[in-house]
Chain A
Amino acid sequence: MMYDWLYNLTGSEILAAVIQSLLPLFLFILPFALFAVLLERKVSAHMQDRLGPMRVGYHGILQTVADIIKLVQKEDIIARDNDKLFFNLSPLIVFMGSYAAFAVIPFSSVFLGSNIDLGLIFIVAVTGLVVAGILMGGWASNNKYSLLGAMRSAAQIISYEIPTMMIIIVVIMLTGTLNLYTMSEWQTSYFWNWLIFGGPGFGLAKFILIPFMMMSALILFISTLAEVNPTPFDIPEAESELVSGYHTEYSGMKFAMFFLAEYANMFAVSAILSALFFGGFQSPFGYLGNLFNVPALIPFEQFFWFTAKGIFFVFVQMWLRWTLPRFRVDQLMTFCWKYLIPFAFVILIIVGLITVLL
């Protein structure tokens, strides 16, 4: 695939690996963050009946570029009592954790960082690095708001990892693989074959599965949403209580790295949702490449469909962010432990019975 092609092009293992691992960053995360920040501001503005950024470029298209130029110029402030080493290391670790998830996300059948068997679990594992990085930043800032924000964030991510894992196990039972690429291939290219509609093949099992799959997709969406901390779940950053949570003390490029990691994470969880339940890179209506007999077109179409699905779910996240009020801490925990986890367990048992009996 991609790696072999790069290897033939450059003739060096290391160079090919480095280029391949940098591709998602420069081809995807940075342009996506530019686009998503603008999208967020525009979406929030229109939902609140105002215009949003309008001055820089046509309808404010270049606003994010201007913001980035401003961020790069800013002074990097490190207070005297900050823990210098960990204060500087924390943004790197947080960004590394959310960037590592992109290594296994199948953008198309060709553009895919690493086709490892454990892709799905790998994403869950590197999320642990994000938690550790957030705790590190909160502690090293030597600021009570930062520490409280970091604690809340870690507690929230760890609690909501349980329903996420339960739903992931449901999907593993149905597909029999942990490989995100195989999973996307398995849900072949018409929308009634996606896992949310019971997976490929027509039978009794498919129709029984449909309601449970829809509930699983909803639970997965909610619980991964909680791991990214947008507003219904933004207790770690609650502006009215904690200034801005674990990155209160950060300025300039370090703040920008937290910001970039957050947007990368937003897309990563949307990508997991679409790879598990919405066919991954598969087109909902078949491929133009097959219609006109141009096989070279198919990977580009797949890339288009994958990013389109991802950006749609990012849009839904923004939509929720600007319409729902914030949870209280006890409501957050009640919602996770008393509603999501029991439902996820029931789905797990029922789907297990269906896969065994039918």
Chain B
Amino acid sequence: MTTYDIIFYLFAAVTLVSAFLVVTNRNIVHAAFYLLFTFFGVAGIYVMLGADFIAIVQLIVYVGGILILLLFGVMLTNKITSVDIKTGTIHLLPASIVLGLFSGALAAIILNTNWTQVETKTAEGTTAALGNLLINEYALIFELLGILLLIAMVGAASLARR
């Protein structure tokens, strides 16, 4: 066990335990708060993989944006208007079939992939390379995504005005 391993297992444990609590918790606000730790753990694992930019973006977009939005929605609907949001178990049979298929596919992929072992090396910053790729190689996709986000924003604004 090196320091790297210890830190990795720490983040993995945070991610898994909190993700389990998210799906099992009956209180929906609690579930939303546990999601914070899941996102945080995933960001940590990105850092361990040397993807520093993705990790920071994960924190900004998911913790700073989506989670806050989710919390606003859940808190406003659950606590203030005192309407209970039920988080029960329904459709057991179809759910277990889909879950079985999905985990079977995941297990098959994990077992059948030729994993290559790479020496651990000090991670280098990826931001400059990523920026170059986005502007030069994938400029069209980048711009299309921008337009897609713009359309979504205009749509959200026009829905909210109604």
Binding site for B on A (CB under 8 A): 13-14, 17, 83, 86, 93, 116-118, 121-122, 124-129, 131-132, 135-136, 139, 147, 151, 154, 158, 161, 178
| CB pair B125 A132 closer than 8 Å | no
Bound form: Cα–Cα A93–B36 in Å = 10
Q: Which residues of B contact A139 (CB under 8 A)?
A: 29, 71, 75, 79
Q: Which residues of B contact A161 (CB under 8 A)?
A: 64
Residues of B in contact, count (CB < 8 Å): 23
| CB pair B60 A132 closer than 8 Å | no
| CB pair A117 B125 closer than 8 Å | yes
- If A86-B30, A135-B75, A139-B79 touch, does A117 touch B64 (CB 8 Å cutoff)? no
Closest residue of chain B to A123, judged by CB?
B56
Partner of A131, one of B68, B75, B79, B125: B68
Bound form: Cα–Cα A94–B40 in Å = 14
- B27-65 contact mask (Cβ, 8 Å, vs A): 1 or 0: 001100100100010000000000011001001100111
Chain B at the A interface: SS class: helix
| CB pair B68 A118 closer than 8 Å | no
Q: Which residues of B contact A83 (CB under 8 A)?
A: 30
B120 is an interface residue with CB less than 8 A from chain A: no
| CB pair B79 A147 closer than 8 Å | yes
B67 is an interface residue with CB less than 8 A from chain A: yes
- If A118-B52, A125-B63 touch, does A132 touch B3 (CB 8 Å cutoff)? no
B72 is an interface residue with CB less than 8 A from chain A: yes
Bound form: Cα–Cα A22–B7 in Å = 18
Closest 5 CB pairs of A and B: A128-B64, A117-B125, A125-B59, A128-B63, A125-B60
| CB pair B64 A127 closer than 8 Å | yes
B127 is an interface residue with CB less than 8 A from chain A: yes
Binding site for A on B (CB under 8 A): 3, 29-30, 33, 36, 40, 52-53, 56, 59-60, 63-65, 67-68, 71-72, 75, 79-80, 125, 127
Min distance, Cβ B146 to any Cβ of chain A, angstroms:
15
Bound form: Cα–Cα A83–B78 in Å = 15
Min distance, Cβ A87 to any Cβ of chain B, angstroms:
12
- If A117-B127, A128-B59, A128-B64 touch, does A13 touch B3 (CB 8 Å cutoff)? yes
| CB pair B53 A132 closer than 8 Å | no
Closest residue of chain B to A129, judged by CB?
B63
Closest residue of chain B to A135, judged by CB?
B71
Min distance, Cβ A208 to any Cβ of chain B, angstroms:
25
Partner of B68, one of A121, A124, A158: A158
Bound form: Cα–Cα A274–B137 in Å = 36
Bound form: Cα–Cα A147–B29 in Å = 13
| CB pair A128 B68 closer than 8 Å | yes
